[in-house]
């Protein structure tokens, strides 16, 4: 029974951690929209715009990855079971 409570708590915790993806999702979409707009205005600067956009998104991705890491740890590598 004790193990069941731990496992259920980990499952709910992993689900909560995955919710953190709402932030990067909105933020990266905003960046993508701004990048698309900028490419439409200056197609000749497409390379510079895209590399900036991807670099910014890569940074913003980090907190989403943190959530994924915490969820994976809670499921597969928690030290209690």
Report 46-75 residues binding a second copy (CB under 8 A): 46, 48-50, 52-75
CA distance 38 to 50: 10
CA distance 67 to 81: 21
The distance of closest approach from Cβ of residue 34 to a second copy in the complex, given in angstroms and rounded to an integer, is 4
Interface residues for a second copy in 24-43 (CB under 8 A)? 24-43
The distance of closest approach from Cβ of residue 18 to a second copy in the complex, given in angstroms and rounded to an integer, is 4
Sign of CA dihedral 57, 59, 61, 63: negative
The distance of closest approach from Cβ of residue 53 to a second copy in the complex, given in angstroms and rounded to an integer, is 5
CA distance 65 to 81: 24
In a 3-state reduction of DSSP, which class is residue 42?
coil
């Amino acid at each position: 029974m004790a193990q069941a409570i731990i496992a259920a708590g980990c499952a709910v915790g992993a689900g909560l951690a995955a919710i953190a993806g709402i932030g990067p999702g909105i933020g990266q979409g905003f960046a993508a929209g701004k990048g698309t707009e900028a490419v439409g205005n200056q197609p000749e600067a497409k390379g510079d715009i895209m590399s900036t956009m991807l670099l910014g998104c890569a940074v913003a991705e980090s907190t989403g990855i943190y959530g994924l890491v915490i969820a994976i740890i809670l499921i597969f590598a928690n030290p209690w079971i």
